Amino acid sequence: MTRPDLSPTDRSTIKRGKNRAMTDRSALHDVLDAGLVCHLGVVVDGSPLVLPTGYGRDGDTLYLHGSTGARSLRAAADGVDVCVNVTVLDGVVYARSVFHHSMNYRSAVVHGRATLVTDDDEKLHGLRVLTEHLAPGSWGHARLPNRKELAATAVLALDLTEAAVKVRTGGPVDDEEDIGTVPAWAGVLPVRQVFGEPEPCHLQPEGTPVPGHVRRRAG
């Protein structure tokens, strides 16, 4: 399925730092696939509410989920506008001037109206996508949701039609007159998220092997 490139609307068009805007859909997919937590924004009683939540992507659908009682999910399921942001931090940029200090990052913003997934098959599919994003391999390994658990979980689907991606890479962009004259160190301190050594639950027999899908992730 071919989808159009990004930024068809005013609010999803990047106004500042246009040179950092990416317009191909694969850039959006890459950022969403690289993050682990998204920030979901909704308007509640006229005020913004921003909360972190898990997500997963299948094609051009973003799935979100949470307890059926969660305030942000309830608001988002009401057919109102939502905004989802996924940001991956890649580095701290040290410039010769304080003013040009910056960050390297990849950031995706998605606008739209989320729909509450009510069909059980699609709900299971959404949960599978969400689970495999958070913990790849767990869907075929852990116990799958039963009827009661399925009922207690709200799954939202958000179409990726209206989205924008902004990426900053590379070293500091200093003022010409500061280069060679200001003695401050300039460069990038890379930042990345890493997985540590798996910590087994104490309720399982000691020496239970860590399965491949967890072990591989720990690196």
- Scan residues 163-182 and list those touching a second copy (CB under 8 A): 171-172, 174, 178-180, 182
Site for a second copy contains 184 (CB under 8 A):
yes
* Exposure string over 21-55, b if 16+ CB within 10 A, otherwise e: bbeebebbbbbbeebeebbbbbeeeeeeeebebbb
Using alpha carbons, select from 140, 135, 153 the residue that is nearest to residue 198: 135
Q: Which CB sits closer to a second copy, 1 or 46?
A: 46
Residue 4: CB partners within 8 Å, gap ≥ 6?
25
Site for a second copy in 187-216 (CB under 8 A): 187-204, 208-211, 214
Distances in Å between the Cα of 176 and the Cα atoms of 17, 94, 99, 181 are: 19, 16, 13, 10
Site for a second copy contains 67 (CB under 8 A):
yes
Site for a second copy in 75-114 (CB under 8 A): 81-85, 87, 89, 91-92, 94-99, 101, 103, 105, 107, 109, 111
For residue 109, the minimal CB distance to a second copy (Å) is 7
Site for a second copy contains 34 (CB under 8 A):
no
Alpha carbon distance 133, 161 (integer Å): 20
For residue 100, the minimal CB distance to a second copy (Å) is 8
Q: Which CB sits closer to a second copy, 1 or 201?
A: 201
Q: Which CB sits closer to a second copy, 138 or 161?
A: 138
For residue 2, the minimal CB distance to a second copy (Å) is 27
For residue 1, the minimal CB distance to a second copy (Å) is 27
Stretch of 24-32, 56-64, 115-123, 185-193 lying at the interface with a second copy (CB under 8 A): 185-193
Hey, CA dihedral for 157, 160, 162, 167, is it positive or negative?
Answer: positive
* Exposure string over 76-102, b if 16+ CB within 10 A, otherwise e: bbeeeebbbbbbbebbebbbbeeeeeb
Site for a second copy contains 151 (CB under 8 A):
no
Site for a second copy in 35-54 (CB under 8 A): 36-37, 39-52, 54
For residue 150, the minimal CB distance to a second copy (Å) is 9
Site for a second copy contains 1 (CB under 8 A):
no
Alpha carbon distance 66, 87 (integer Å): 20
